[in-house]
């Protein structure tokens, strides 16, 4: 149904009544395939929802590494921060989403950017006991 609507010219970046875009709404509702489709149809990843969350940080929090990759390939910077001051890398590292961390590092995410509390992705991975992510981040420290 989503594909038919997009092919018929539906506004991929329209704001829904609750302040969300179709992209942020699909991520929040765990509609992974629809979110990827929206990105392919030009959904803007720089529009935050009413809570200040961005598609990249939402996708990172859910562990959607393929969607994170698609958003980065659409030209979005990997180091954007949500309204809480967290980068996608910080979020993914804290939640143990190793595949997302890898995609962000491949997309040249800055490993030294802290959240609003001064914690980097490495700090958050360590705090949450994600040893594989810690090793990955240590091997790819930004200069």
Q: What is the CATH number of the domain that holds 34?
A: 1.25.40.20
- Count how many domains the chain has: 1
Q: Is the per-residue pLDDT at 143 higher than 50?
A: no
Rounded alpha-carbon distances, angstroms, from residue 26 to 34, 115, 122: 6, 25, 29
CB proximity list for 121: less than 8 A, separation 6 or greater: 87, 89, 90, 92, 93, 94, 101, 111, 133, 137
Residue given tokens 């790819």 in the structure block: 140
Q: What is the pTM of this model?
A: 0.87
Expressed as residue numbers, the domain containing 98 is 2-8+15-139
96-125 average pLDDT score:
96
pLDDT band at 35; cut points 50, 70, 90: very high
Cα four-point dihedral sign 43, 48, 51, 57: positive
Supply 47's token pair. Answer: 């529009």
Residue 83 pLDDT more than 90?
no
Residues 51 and 60 sit within 8 Å (Cβ to Cβ): no
């Amino acid at each position: 149904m989503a594909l038919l609507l997009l092919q018929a010219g539906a506004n991929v970046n329209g704001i829904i009544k609750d302040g969300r875009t179709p992209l942020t709404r699909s991520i929040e509702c765990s509609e992974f395939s629809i979110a990827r489709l929206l990105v392919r149809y030009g959904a803007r990843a720089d529009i935050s929802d009413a809570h200040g969350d961005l598609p990249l940080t939402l996708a990172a929090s859910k562990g959607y590494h393929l969607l994170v990759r698609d958003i980065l390939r659409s030209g979005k910077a990997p180091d954007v921060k949500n309204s809480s001051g967290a980068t996608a890398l910080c979020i993914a590292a804290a939640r143990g989403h190793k595949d997302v961390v890898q995609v962000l590092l491949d997309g040249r995410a800055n490993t030294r950017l802290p959240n609003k509390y001064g914690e980097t992705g490495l700090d958050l991975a360590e705090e949450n006991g994600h040893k594989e992510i810690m090793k990955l981040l240590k091997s790819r420290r930004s200069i």
